[in-house]
Structure 1
Amino acid sequence: WGLSPALGTILSLILVLVMITATLLTMADRKWSALMQDRVGPNRARFSIIPFLRDRPLHGIPHIMADVLKMLFKEDFIPEGAVPNRFLFNLAPLLAFAPAFMLFAVVPVSPEVTFFGMRMQLQVARVDWGMLYVFALASIAVFGTALAGWTSNNKLALLGGLRASAQLVSYEVTLGLTLVGAFIVFGSLRLDTMALLQGMAEPAMQTAVSIANRAGDFLVRDDSLLFGWLPSWGAVFQPVGMVLFLVAAQAEIKRAPFDTPEGESEIIGYFLEYSGLKSGMFLIAEYAETVVVGGIVTSIFLGGYHIPWLEPTIVRTTEGWVGASGTAWLAVLQVFAFILKMLSVVWVMFVVRWAFPRFRYDQIMRLGWKMMLPVSLLNVVITGAVFLWAGRDGLAWVGIAEWIAILFFIGLTAGAQPINAEAGSHASTVATH
């Protein structure tokens, strides 16, 4: 395709990372839901043609292959009413599938390192308008869901497409505002710059911003800690922004409890008339978007590839046990740290999915417009005022206070009982007597 060997290698690695992770997450989602619901989970698919594996469920892993084979060999059914719009009917899954993978292009998986005399970074696109690229591509998925519902010639599919379009457009506003505070803190829209700056002290941070904006390159730097012990991650400065972004992103990718566009129990969803590989594209796109959200949250709020309390100079100046340089080993450790953080965010999203019932459509709209939007605007105002008045250290203290308030609220609500629980138990006791 005319790409340089380094960029082609990086692009292949990123695509493989997203595709493999999204595929494995289908099984992880099943296993985790079974654990939360006290079930065994997927265990019926077996490798029957292999004698010593015939009676082994292998923790449900064969179900991944069974799903792929089922999608590949199922009939590609097109409803009769969609024939005039066949091109748009076939285009809808692609519009939902492609952006999910293209979004990961601006996510930095590692810092810039030198391998075999070649400088590279596990990031496909290093552009100054990184998060604007994310918002622009994320909005394309709206067209995929709207087209899927409209061209299916099905009232229920159309209703699901309308729900999805309204929900995605509504939460895009909140999604952007939740990150404005992080943009103020780091002074950049580039994810690689934001990840880099979460391991720097104030003077080095200012120098890095000016050089990154001027030359688009990185500095060799050492990690630093706020107040000598606290990692300078975005979550420290923007805890409210991180929580709001996670909730808005969950709604943006239509994951439960924000899955009213699909609504299996009432309208099935906008992909009602899709089967086979096209239906699988919608499914994989949802899990790929989950991976992208995990990567973005990691890069902006969780320090990116930085390993807290690990001095990079120690690793960088140490020879590996197989002769590799310490710089290479540091890059490997940082890649694993990034993947671990990303999967932790994905795990939280899975827990939320199975811990809450599906919200009603009016509840989702009320949450987005009347609750999250005002709070995100207030967060922007407070962040800007504190940053101008007290700098990053002041924001860190405000962030710590916000974390204490968030944890107190979680602890307060964790043991709460419904208001009518006591009355309901009393009524049931009277009925039994």
Structure 2
Amino acid sequence: MSTPIDAQDEKGTIPTGSKGSTAMPVVVAVPKELAPGEQRVATVPEVVQKLTKLCLEVRVEHDAGTGAYYPDELFTAAGAKIVTSRTDLLDGARIVLRVQPPTVAEVDQLAGGTIVIGFMNATNNLEAVARMRDRRVTAFALELVPRITRAQSMDALSSQATAAGYTAAILGAGNCPKFLPMLTTAAGTIRPATVLILGAGVAGLMAIATAKRLGAIVEAYDVRRAAGEQVRSLGAKFLELEIDAESQGGYARELTPEEKAKEQQMVSAAVARADIVITTAAIPGRKAPLLITRETVATMRLGAVIVDLAAESGGNCELTQAGKTVHVHGITILGPQNLPSRVPFHSSQMYAKNLQSFLALLVDKEGAIAEEFTDEILVASLLVHAGEVLHRPTRELLSGVKP
């Protein structure tokens, strides 16, 4: 998870929110996602029903849910108002729910004091963050939600990683020239394929579970030894290496040069015998670690497949190209982007429930917005408020200072 927020102002107090009004319901707006390839929507009819019971008025932009197979008619039946223009959608809206970060142009459509909730990816969207600051928009970044027990229902990173891990396993199977399960047929016995998962976080564990359900022999590796128990509980073999690189928050720290050499030797041997390799290793805010070199790719079995979930942050394979499929030495290397969008129905459903839980901290049972953002989850995820960037690393990047 990202570095904890430094949310105190000059006086050492936490910024406050605005008091909602029960006379006029708070308007929650859900725009259609405009990012290329994005099929998800920030809420679903099931959640709309829950929000309307909180005395909230939910507006959904026309066709916002079409890509996720939630047509306007379902939203209307759930109590939402379908709005055909972005201007009408945002007119008077106090809260805007999104999946992808807003663009500068989208921020310019928001009135001061509007609360935007969604993924913000601030490091790669500094211009939009600066515009939200200047327009006094309040932004909560779901990727900053702390990994504490009470916040599990709001953990959108985990819910979307679940979708990504599942889709990665399906992609690997679809591109592999072999059956995954063992088959006994009149034509002889078919040996099961071997699937290797590198990185046993949420996405990796879901990829393991899916590959096992498909009947493959599954091996997995993670630099965090504690992950071994979870891997074995799913029926996979955990590759042992005497390195413990777990850091605070459950993420992996960067390895030392000596540790990297040991890891590379073991991983290379495992990669060489695998039919499908799914890589999920990432370090928040940094380039993805290199796990598979071009030399290692050359040792792989003909027809083997690599699915690199870290493609968007540089890739775990040296030959990965984000958004493209590379064929080299008879090996297929996939660099997919935005995998949760490939299963938009369920990824939207999970994401919408994350937002529902988050809103329960922000809006009370009478539909009033919290007067103060004092809850530790709200404090941690508050990116921009009242003309200030409150997340220290983002503020330092905007100031030209390295975090």
TM over 0.5: no
Q: Which has the larger radius of gyration?
A: 1
Whichever structure has more strand as a proportion of its residues is: 2
Q: TM-score normalised to the size of structure 1?
A: 0.23
